[in-house]
Each structure stands twice: as structure tokens, then as C-alpha cells.
Amino acid sequence: MREPSPAGRPDPEAGARLWRGSLAQRLRLVSGLVLFAFAATHFANHALGLVGLDTMMDVARWRTAVTRSLPGSLILGLALLAHVAFSLVRLAERRTLRMPAWEAMQTLLGFAIPFLLVPHVLGTRIANLVDGTRTNYAYVIVRIWPDGMGFQTALLLVVWLHGCLGLHAWLRLSPLYRRMAPLLAVPAFGLPAAAIAGIVTQGRLMERDLILARRFDAPDLGARWQVPPLDSTVAAWGDTVTGAVYAAVALALGIVLVRAAASLRARRFGVAYVGGPSVRSLEGPTLLEISRANRVPHVSVCGGRGRCSTCRVLVVSGEENLSAPGAQEAAALRAIGAPANVRLACQARPAGDVAVIRILDPRRSESAGEHLTNTDVAGIEREVAILFIDIRGFTPLSERKLPFDVVFILNRFFEAAGREIEAAGGWIGGYAGDGLLALFTHPDGIGPACRSAFLAAAEVDRAVAELNRQLAAELPAALRMAMGLHAGPLVLGRLGYGASRGMSVIGPAVNLASRLESLAKAADMQLVASEEAATRAGLALDGMRVETVAVRGVAAPLPVIYAPRAGDLAGRLRRSAPV
């Protein structure tokens, strides 16, 4: 059973979505995170130059005790080699060099890093290993100030910008990150600025000390800035390592160019975009690569890494000409409950004629990132809590009333229920006769959304009880409700035409919530909810009726909870809320 997600915290499944991908993608991601953590702590150490050289060196001793230990050196070395290797392989596997601007910038910055980094590593870590040189901050500042500051500043900014672009491209799938992004901008801009300022401060102090030492014949003042020359053997390695990096990048680019040349004579087939152009392509590239190569707009928030599913397409014809879904693609499609004819464009490789519909509208002016927050689009994935509410036994009542009276009663019911749903943060997704569909999302994830749905159900129970009291003279019997509540990943968007377009959801979880509402009627209960939604909301289940039932349209039996009165659940939510 899934543990409840406390209110106010992101749902764990949103985080799990960040780790989707092949083993190679995950290793590349982990290696990048290791390197970014090293760079961030290294730059923070630079920033302590604003305090003093002794503080810089004291903190550096603690930091290098970890990074220059045998385990630390192995982890950093392997992370660097793995990140570069996976990046080169990814470049070599490309069928086109067309890509979004942010990805092109990150790629170019990434391949610039080795050329800037090699001299720095040779002059510090390698020199320390070869001849035991104490490569502390005094050593580094003498070597780079002032002539080498431009080179070192470029290295710092390129490393930091490459890492930040990669982190942003990865984390923007997370609602928590999108909410915190304005706050994270402070360290994103402040840390490199402080790091440069720290080095500049100490460089100027070094100049002052050396000038004073010469002027007043005080060798002790300049003693700390005396640095031995770099070993000639170590210096000679620079050209060799740099040449190897050039050769590796040239090899990867050569593979791309050879493939491009071979494609000129390869058999071609058609890819038709419904509502868009038809293009010709050769076998090998993914649908997303075909879109990019032919300048066909195609949304892809994660950059084609198979994590976000925003590039998915509905296959209209030629499904048999697409490669079979791999484990990574199958997991992503399963997570959103996609039907069999929906594929991820970044994973599916056509080998013959195919026609597809891009599910997310690429013709809108907003950026791909805005598709994650703007609900007025063709559709985005969201974790949604769904509450179905239906009046029980309304048909006999309507047969005994004039049409005007029926409309009056229904509107009073919808008003009472809708007011409480909106107060709890939800909205009405649709009406069907004497029932309605309420939807709940929350910036902090599905846990708080489920909590809001249960609170709304409790308040609707109280509101309808008050409505029954007010309409007692008009009703032959009190209005009774049946409610079904569930949550899960759905496609959220505005459906309909023109002014009639309303926010709604599509997916298996909607059907399941409807089935639970029918189950509530059959069991003579006011509310039946999935145990999954209850635990996510933090609902205390002790003493409640919990059963595992077979639900029509669901393969596996489903644990559900029964509540004779939804109003009784509010107290359980209060007791289970985090402090």
C-alpha cells in the first residue's frame, strides 16, 4: 500500500517521474549531479575569499579531504569520464543536429568544458599527485592572477551555466521546482558572482602584499605567495589530453555526418502530421528527430529523454511500421494511462509510412515549459483527484414535479455542492443529469488535492443536509447522494468548441471514480473512495469499513473504503494532518 503524502509536500510520484529513462540516461544524470555538487561546493569555497584567505584554505582542507581521498577521487573521476562518454555517445546517436535552443546551448557549453578544464586540472590535482605540490588557494591565485583570470572566469561560468541548464531541463517536470524557481534564481546568479568576487578580492590582496614586501623589504609578507613552477612533464600532458578530447568530439561529429551522408541514398517513407505537413524521412530517426529535422513544431519538455511524455502522438495509421515500445517508453505511457495507439515521439522509430496527431498543440506561442502550467492547452498530464456526486432516487422525484420545479431543485443542489467544491479549491468538470464531476489539483501534488476532495465531500454532505431542511416543504423525501472518489494521472485540458469549452479530464481514473459512485449506490453508502486516494489524503482509516472489491473495467481487485456519511470524514482528516 502507498504511504500517505502529507499535506503541503509534493507527491512522491511526481519525483519518481524525474528518474524515468534508460540506464544510460540515469547514469548520465547521476554523474552530472555529482559533478554539479562538486562545482557548487568548489565555487562556494571561492566565495569565502570575501572573508579571507585563511578561511578559504581552512574550508578547502575539509573539502579536499573528501574530494581528494581515494573514494572521492574515484567517484569524481568516474563521474567526469561517464558524463563525457555518455554525452559523446548521445551526440553520435543523433540523426540530426537540429534541437531546441536551450539544448543546443547546453551541448555547446558541455563540449567547451574539457578544453577549459584540462589546464586547470593539470595545474592543480595532477601536479599534486605527481610531485606533491601543495595546490592550495595561494598557489592557484598566484598562477591565475591577473593574466589567467579571463580563462578561469570563462571556465567557471561555462561549468555553472551548463549545470544550471541541465538541472532546469530535468527539474521543470516537478511542480515543487516550478514553484520554487524564483527563489532558486538567487543562488543561481549569486553563487558564481560571489565566487568570482572572492578570487578577485584575494588577487588584489596578493598584489598589495607583494608590492609592500618589495617596498619595505619584508620577505615574510610575500612568503605565502611563493609558488614553485609547474613540472614540465605535467605541462606537456596538456596538449595530449586536449588533443584526445578534440579527437573524441571530432569522431562523434564524424559519425553524425556519415549518417547524414548515408541518408541521402537511403529508402525514404512518408510521415504525415494530421493538421500539419507531410514529410519524407529515412529509417533510423525517432519521430521527434524527424520533426526537428524537418522543422515541424513538436513539444518536448524534457528534450527527448522519455521522461515527460509531452511529445506523445496519436498514431492514426501505420502503427505496424513503428518500433515496439521499449521498457522506458512503456513505463511512461503506463504512468499516464495512455491507450495502445499513443506513442512517445522521442522513442518511436518509424520504418514505413505513418500518420500521427501531435497531442499537445505545438502551434501556440507559449514555450514548452508553459505547457506544464497552462491548463488551456490541448492536454497536459496532471495528478487529479476526481469526485463524482449523484442524487439517488431523483428520477421518481422528477416524475412527480413540474419541469420548472425539477430545474429549481437541481440548480439549488448544484449551487450548494458547487459552492463547497470551489471553497475547497476544486472546480466543476461537467454535469450529467442529476450528477456532477468535481476535479481537484494542488501545487504541492496529489496528496493535498485528495485532501481537498475529501474535505469538499464532507462539506457537500453538510450543505445538502441544510438544503433538505430549507426545501422540506417542496420535497416528498430528502435528497440523498452517492459519491465516488479516486485519484490518478490524467490528461487535463479544455474540451469542447468555442465558448462552450470547459476544463475536463480524460483517462482511466475518471471511469474508476464513476464506478465507485455506482458502488456507493449499490452498497447504500454516501461515499465510496479508493484506499489509495484516502491514504494520499492522510485520512485515518482505523475503524472504517475497508474492502477489496472487483470493479468493472479494472483488471486487479481494488481496495476501497465505505463511508455512510461523508461529513464524518472531516474530523479524521484533521486528526491525521501533519503538525
Peptide bond into 146 cis (omega under 30): yes
Residue pLDDT, tens place only, 462-510 = 999 998 888 877 777 888 999 999 998 777 666 555 555 555 667 788 8
70-93 helix and 232-263 helix, angle to the nearest 10 degrees: 30
Are residues 467 and 529 part of one domain?
yes
Using CB atoms within 10 A of its CB, is residue 552 exposed (0-12), middle (13-18) or buried (19+)?
Answer: exposed
Domain assignment of residue 12, yes or no = no
Are residues 170 and 51 part of one domain?
yes
**Distance between CA 402 and CA 54 in Å, rounded?**
89
Are residues 220 and 115 part of one domain?
yes
pLDDT band at residue 455 under the 50/70/90 scheme: very high
Predicted pLDDT at 376 = 45
What CATH number does residue 137 fall under? 1.20.1300
State which of 107-111, 339-343, 398-402 shows the largest mean pLDDT: 107-111
Angle (CA) 174 178 182, round 5°: 150
Q: What is the pTM of this model?
A: 0.53
C-beta of residue 563 within 8 angstroms of C-beta of residue 524? no
Higher per-residue confidence, 334 vs 335 = 334
Q: Is the pLDDT confidence value at 435 over 90?
A: no
53-67 helix and 70-93 helix, angle to the nearest 10 degrees: 80
Are residues 449 and 361 part of one domain?
no
Q: Is the pLDDT confidence value at 309 over 80?
A: no
**Distance between CA 571 and CA 579 in Å, rounded?**
15
- Residue that is last in its domain, among 318, 341, 369: 369
What CATH number does residue 462 fall under? 3.30.70.1230
The amino acid that residue 530 corresponds to is S
Residue pLDDT, tens place only, 492-501 = 666 555 555 5
Q: Which long-range contacts (CB under 8 A, 24 or more apart) does 127-136 make?
A: 127/230, 127/231, 127/234, 128/68, 130/231, 130/233, 130/234, 131/231, 131/234, 133/228, 133/231, 136/57, 136/60
- Residue that is last in its domain, among 352, 369, 386: 369
**Distance between CA 367 and CA 372 in Å, rounded?**
10
C-beta of residue 28 within 8 angstroms of C-beta of residue 35? no
Domain assignment of residue 403, yes or no = yes
Nearest CA among 33, 245, 206, 227 for reference residue 124 = 227
- Residue that is last in its domain, among 212, 234, 261: 261
Domain assignment of residue 112, yes or no = yes
Predicted pLDDT at 575 = 43
Q: What is the mean pLDDT of the chain?
A: 80
Predicted pLDDT at 505 = 66
Q: Is the pLDDT confidence value at 381 over 70?
A: no
Predicted pLDDT at 224 = 67
Predicted pLDDT at 410 = 85
Are residues 299 and 276 part of one domain?
yes
Question: What is the average per-residue pLDDT within 147-176?
Answer: 88
Q: In terms of residues, how long is the chain?
A: 579
What CATH number does residue 331 fall under? 3.10.20.30
Residue pLDDT, tens place only, 5-22 = 333 344 444 455 667 667
Domain assignment of residue 6, yes or no = no
Are residues 558 and 415 part of one domain?
yes
The domain in which residue 304 lies consists of 268-369
Are residues 414 and 310 part of one domain?
no
pLDDT above 90 covers a percentage of the chain that reads 27
Are residues 181 and 223 part of one domain?
yes
Are residues 288 and 407 part of one domain?
no
Predicted pLDDT at 503 = 57
Domain assignment of residue 19, yes or no = no
**Distance between CA 325 and CA 282 in Å, rounded?**
19
Domain assignment of residue 481, yes or no = yes
Are residues 164 and 101 part of one domain?
yes
Higher per-residue confidence, 32 vs 118 = 32
Dihedral Cα 390, 392, 398, 403, nearest 10 deg: -20
pLDDT above 70 covers a percentage of the chain that reads 80
**Distance between CA 47 and CA 136 in Å, rounded?**
15
Residue pLDDT, tens place only, 164-188 = 998 988 887 677 787 888 899 999 9
pLDDT band at residue 375 under the 50/70/90 scheme: very low
Q: Is the pLDDT confidence value at 512 over 80?
A: yes
Predicted pLDDT at 164 = 93
Domain assignment of residue 8, yes or no = no
Say which range, 168-182, 251-265, 432-446, 464-478, has the weakest mean pLDDT: 251-265
Cα→Cα distances 191→43, 45, 116, 406, Å:
7, 10, 20, 65
Are residues 325 and 291 part of one domain?
yes
Higher per-residue confidence, 152 vs 124 = 152
Helices (H), 172-231: 175-215, 219-222
Domain assignment of residue 549, yes or no = yes
Are residues 300 and 252 part of one domain?
no
**Into how many domains does the chain fold?**
3
Residue pLDDT, tens place only, 93-112 = 776 677 777 788 888 898 88
